[in-house]
Structure 1
Amino acid sequence: MDSGSRKIYHVHGFDSRQYLEHYLSDKPDMAFGDDTLKFPIENLTNIFTRGHIKGDVLIDLSTGSFVHHLYAACEFFQHIIVLKASDGCIMELKRWLDSRTGAFDWSHVTKLHVEIQGNSDQFQDKEEKVRSAIPHVVKCDLEKENMTDPIVLPPADCIISAVLLDVVCKDQDDYRRYLRKFSGLLKPGGHMILIGGFGTTYYTVGKEKFQALTYDEDFVRKALVGEGFVLDSFVTKKRTAVSDLTDYKDLIFVAAHKEKV
């Protein structure tokens, strides 16, 4: 399949459960544990426990229906508002939020979080803390000026965007455009956390191959500064996963704050 025939995340959609099974499960053949689970969890835990990123509202704009990146955040924000572009991802996430039969099992992530935090007595109530911190999962249209029209969101203290910019952008101009739109949801001085991958051209869900944007560290730095952000943390990690499901070369974790004007 050539790049011109690859599917686009927010246009074609994908099987959200299969995406979780491929990249975020605890199955023995899941090759991405150190990259997609441990790397973001460790960095999010580290950045939040520093104490300067906190507040009332966190907005999550991320791919699929995963929640592992929100475990650390729930300790530092009163409300987490999750935006999703597809009904399938919303249904999958709500199945877990409502503790329904057949929901994806995130207990391996709960275990990993409490191990990283060194507080094993939190295991029993960690998932409930995450659930209670997410009052709303909102359908969004990334192309609208107000992505959640007719709902107007409160200004956010922080935005987390995990992998989404990698999979919705066809080129670097798109990346800057979406970054500007996401920035518009922040309060002055608010924080942006980006998680993604360098050198990616595709990712696979089931038998379907999807496009991904190829970019590098220099581009991300310049894009954030160009939109009025000050970089606070920029961490990269070489790929360790052995799999042909996707071809990223490195992972990135970026925390920045929006300059007050």
Structure 2
Amino acid sequence: MMDSRKYKHYHECGFDSRQFLEHYVSDRPDMVFEEDFLKFPIENLRQTFTEGHIKGDVLIDLSNGSLVHQLYAACDYFKNIIVLKVRDRCIMELKRWVDARTGAFHWGHAVKLHADAEEESEKFKEKEEKMRTALQHVVKCNLKKENMMDPMVIPPADCIISAWLLDVISKDQEGYVRYLRKFSRLLKPGGHIILIGCLDATFFIVGKDNMHLVTYNEDFVKKALVGEGFVIDRCEVMKRTVKSDLVDHKGVIFVVAHKDK
């Protein structure tokens, strides 16, 4: 067991954004988390959005690192996608992909997981270009401020997607609830929040950095959402499928809830 006193907190210390992507969501042969961190969330996101209940003008993404794959399914259902990031390095990594620069991270494997089996490679390219067009609003936010966007003003969102960010910025469960409350203020009444996270985890590793993860279970997430005025529409849990020294999670959770009017 690692010494928790040596854990770093993402929003305070950051990590190598490219190494994070390579470790956990790449198509490298030694990347062992495809089922947990790619297929499971993508399949649930596809099902959620194709039902057609969640759509509108504005979607806000508040996710860990420079992740993109959680947003492909949403492109057809929102006019504007606003990505909020707390670290400059992650913004730079994401914009490198948006601008299709040399050396940008390759997300083609994630596009294929979002696509229908019968779609041809040209359709994959169209999806990727549509995603790049959607991600024109990548903005830095400050978690320490009561209004994270101060002095900027952004329109209330119809939906928020938060993939693994609450896990890494919350020092404890009380912190998780405080950040969830802060995120929920960005939603319209009746708006939806989609949370993706790791269950019963304490750390993950990026390169030489041992990073903190807040520990929680399924019941905690449900109670936190209900306590903040949400009604849970869907909750899916998958047990960890692989052993790895990089992260000690026991499972992955996918939750959809709407803000009670």
1:42-57 counterparts in 2 under 5 A? 42-57=43-58
Query: Equivalent residue of 1:128, what SS?
Result: helix
Query: Equivalent residue of 2:70, what SS?
Result: helix
Query: Equivalent residue of 1:99, what SS?
Result: coil
1:158 and 2:159 correspond: yes
1:111-122 counterparts in 2 under 5 A? 111-115=112-116, 118-120=118-120, 122=123
Distance 2:192 2:209 in 1: 34
Distance 1:159 1:185 in 2: 8
Q: Structure 1 stretches of 5 or more lacking a match?
A: none
Cα drift, residue 254 of structure 1? 0.1
Show CA shifts across 1:174-216 (max 9, x none). 0110000000000000000000011100000001101110001
- Matching residue's letter, 2:127: K
Partner of 2:141: 140
Distance 1:202 1:124 in 2: 35
Partner of 1:216: 217
Bigger mean CA offset, 7-16 vs 237-246: 237-246
Distance 1:56 1:184 in 2: 17
Return the TM-score normalized by structure 2: 0.97
Distance 1:119 1:77 in 2: 22
Partner of 1:90: 91
Partner of 1:39: 40
Query: Equivalent residue of 1:68, what SS?
Result: coil
- Matching residue's letter, 2:233: D
Partner of 2:30: 29
- Matching residue's letter, 1:105: H
> Once superposed, which parts of structure 1, at least 4 consecutive aligned residues long, lie more than 3 Å away?
118-121
Distance 1:200 1:124 in 2: 36
1:62-73 counterparts in 2 under 5 A? 62-73=63-74
Distance 2:200 2:56 in 1: 34
Percent of residue pairs bearing the same amino acid type: 66
Partner of 2:205: 204
- Matching residue's letter, 1:92: E
1:188-203 counterparts in 2 under 5 A? 188-203=189-204
Distance 1:254 1:65 in 2: 21
- Matching residue's letter, 1:100: R
Query: Equivalent residue of 2:195, what SS?
Result: strand
- Matching residue's letter, 2:235: F
Cα drift, residue 119 of structure 1? 3.3
Distance 1:230 1:119 in 2: 36
Cα drift, residue 115 of structure 1? 3.8
Distance 2:86 2:242 in 1: 28
Q: Structure 2 stretches of 5 or more lacking a match?
A: none
How many residues align? The count is 259
Contact 1:146–1:152 (8 Å) recurs in 2? no
Show CA shifts across 1:213-249 (max 9, x none). 0001111111000000000000000111221100000
Cα drift, residue 112 of structure 1? 1.7
**Cα RMSD (Å) of the superposition?**
1.0
Query: Equivalent residue of 1:74, what SS?
Result: helix
Distance 2:125 2:21 in 1: 23
Cα drift, residue 124 of structure 1? 2.2
